[in-house]
Each structure stands twice: as structure tokens, then as C-alpha cells.
Amino acid sequence: MPRPQPLDANPGRSASVSRKTRETDISVTWDLNAPGTSRIDTGIGFLDHMLEALAKHSATGLTVSCKGDLHIDGHHTSEDVGIVLGQALRQALGDRAGIERFGHIACPLDEALVEATIDISGRPWLSYHLEPKAARLGTWDTDLIPEFFGGLTDQARICLHLRQLAGRNSHHIVEAGFKAFARALRQAIAVTGSGVPSTKGVLG
């Protein structure tokens, strides 16, 4: 696996990041130029399913390996995977020159409808409004979903508004949320111009 590069410097739009603590051992490679491929193993089946959807619908390549303290619960794995994904995304984007920067979409999944709006602003913010009624999806506690997105947005330094507009089935709601995030991210990271998309000349 390639050595991690300094944050904010990567013209190749790909990054590998590893993080090991007493609670988790995680390796992530995120290639923004890959065609929606993934190899995911977090130890949490539903989280794996959502990260596969993230790669597919953002049209990026994502490899995630995590060994976490799941004998306790899924909290550390969920949050730390989000943290390392965020670090990899920030690193892969480099100075963010030429990107569209903003993304917005509403994704349906049967009766569920979730809206995602992204600004790759250099300033972290998460506004999370998904309301799945089920306490768990498979073995994944739904309370841990905002912990995952919080870690990701904080480390990637992006602004994300995720809002449920309709929905009854918890699986549909959460999956629509991940797909909406992926599709909005796909728009925001697209290279559509040149220069940093900010009147300040920098993002952050």
C-alpha cells in the first residue's frame, strides 16, 4: 500500500491512509478516478453494504479494511472508519483546484426519499436528519450512522446536509441516505474547471 501523502497535496486524486489504535486497525484507499469499484471489510455487514453503495454511486474506487473491537460494540469501528475515510478524501482532493465543489441531489428508494447537499468548503459541518425507526440494521446500531458521517465530514473538512424527506422502512431510509451522499459527492468532486472554486483563492 502506498505511503500516506501530506494532506492537501495530491494531484493524482488517490490516497491511502492507515490508522491503528487500541480499538481499531484501519486501512483505506480512496481513488477518485476509479470506476465505482470496492473491496470492503469492516466486520459490520450493513456498513460494508453502505460503503459498497458509496463507491458505486460516487463512481470512485474504495478499499476499506478494519479490525475493530466489535466484541464491545460497533461504535469505535463506525466512527473510526468515518475518520479514516474523511482523511483519505481530503488527501485525495489535494488543493481542490478545478472541482465543482457543490453537490445536491434527492435520492428515492421506494417510499423513502433523502436529500443530500455537499460543499467541499474546507470547513467541517454535519447537519444530520435521518430518522430510521429500527434500532439495528443487521448488526449495525442506527445510532452509529451519524457518528460515521460526523467522523467523515470532520476529517474531510466538508459541509454535509443530509435530510430525510419521506420514508417508512429503516433499511430504505439509510440506504437512500448513503446513495444521496454518494451522488452529491460525485457532483462535488467532478473536475469541471481550473483554479480553486472560491473568491478567497483557497478553501478553508
In a domain, 3, yes or no: no
In a domain, 2, yes or no: no
In a domain, 5, yes or no: no
Three-state SS for 112-177 is EEEEEEEECCCCCEEEEECCCCCCEECCEEHHHHHHHHHHHHHHHCCEEEEEEEECCCHHHHHHHH
How many separate domains does the chain show?
1
The reported pLDDT for the residue numbered 196 is 64
Query: Is the model's pLDDT at 193 over the cut of 50?
Result: yes
Report whether 80 contacts 23 (CB < 8 A): yes
In a domain, 200, yes or no: no
Residue 146's CATH number: 3.30.230.40
Q: What is the mean pLDDT of residues 30-34?
A: 95
Amino acid at residue number 47: L
In a domain, 201, yes or no: no
Q: Identify the bridge partners of residue 140 per DSSP, sorted by sequence position.
A: 137
Distance between CA atoms of residues 110 and 100, nearest Å:
29
In a domain, 88, yes or no: yes
Q: What is the mean pLDDT of residues 49-78?
A: 98
In a domain, 111, yes or no: yes
Q: What is the span of the domain harbouring residue 84?
A: 14-189
In a domain, 90, yes or no: yes
**95-147 pLDDT tens trace:** 898 899 999 999 999 999 999 999 999 999 999 999 999 999 999 999 999 99
Query: Is the model's pLDDT at 9 over the cut of 50?
Result: no
- The DSSP secondary structure of 19-87, one letter per residue, reads EE-SSEEEEEEEETTS-S-EEEE-S-HHHHHHHHHHHHHHT-EEEEEEEE-TTT-SHHHHHHHHHHHHH
Query: Is the model's pLDDT at 8 over the cut of 50?
Result: no
